Structure formats: structure tokens, C-alpha cells
Amino acid sequence: MKYLCLAYYNPEKFAAMAPADVQALVSQCPAKDAELKKTGRLVVSASLDGPQAAFALRPRGGKTQLTDGPYAEAKEMVGGFFIIEAADKDEAVRVASLHPAATLGESVGWAVEVHPIGFFEQTR
């Protein structure tokens, strides 16, 4: 089974950090990312641009409406995502917990939300 993992952060807390503190935090990520890759369970991993680059498409009055900004009002934003393969929930927890957002960055609201994928089609 595949699982979509959403990596969250709090943009306000992150922006309030001193540059040296940001560097100290993100410098720990490559080693965590390498652990995740070594499991052989990582399908894809990506970081997202900040909320200022996001936009939403919504059906309104029979037409698609484009709006700027994130799709929902929230203190936390999705900063990245990854897809893993796991035999069951326990393995998904073990593998997803290797992501930096699951173990680092508590002060800036890092977190990982995990969703089982019911349908997955790879088109390339």
C-alpha cells in the first residue's frame, strides 16, 4: 500500500527564526533524508514553494475560479510531500518517522500527516 505523507510547518514561526537557527535546523535534514531513502520504501519526495506561490482552483457558478494563496486558512502549511510504500500502518509509521519533519523542527511546527492512498496511477 502507498501512503501520502504531508510535511507541515508554521510559516510565522519559521520566518521569526534567526538565519543561523534556520541553517542549523535545515543542515540536519540531508542525513534524515538519506535514512528515509535507504529504506527502499520512498516512492517520491518533494518540497513546495511557500504560500505566496500557491493558488487554488475551485468550482464556482459552473466555472473554475482561480484564487491566489493557499487553499485553506491555517496556521500550518504543507511545505512538502512524499509517498512511501509500506505493508501496513505500523511500517508506514516507522518509515514516515524518518522524515526530518517527524523528528526535527518542533519549534517551527514541523509535522508529518500520513494518508493511505486508495487509488494510485503513475502516468510516466
pLDDT over 80 at 69, yes or no: no
- pLDDT tens string 14-64: 889 999 999 999 999 999 999 999 999 999 999 998 877 888 888 889 999
Task: Between 121 and 4, name the one with better pLDDT.
Answer: 4
pLDDT over 70 at 124, yes or no: yes
Pinpoint the alpha helices (H) of the chain.
11-16, 19-26, 29-38, 89-96, 100-103
* Structure confidence at residue 70 (pLDDT): 61
* Structure confidence at residue 90 (pLDDT): 95
Model confidence pTM above 0.75: yes
* 114/28 Cα distance (integer angstroms): 22
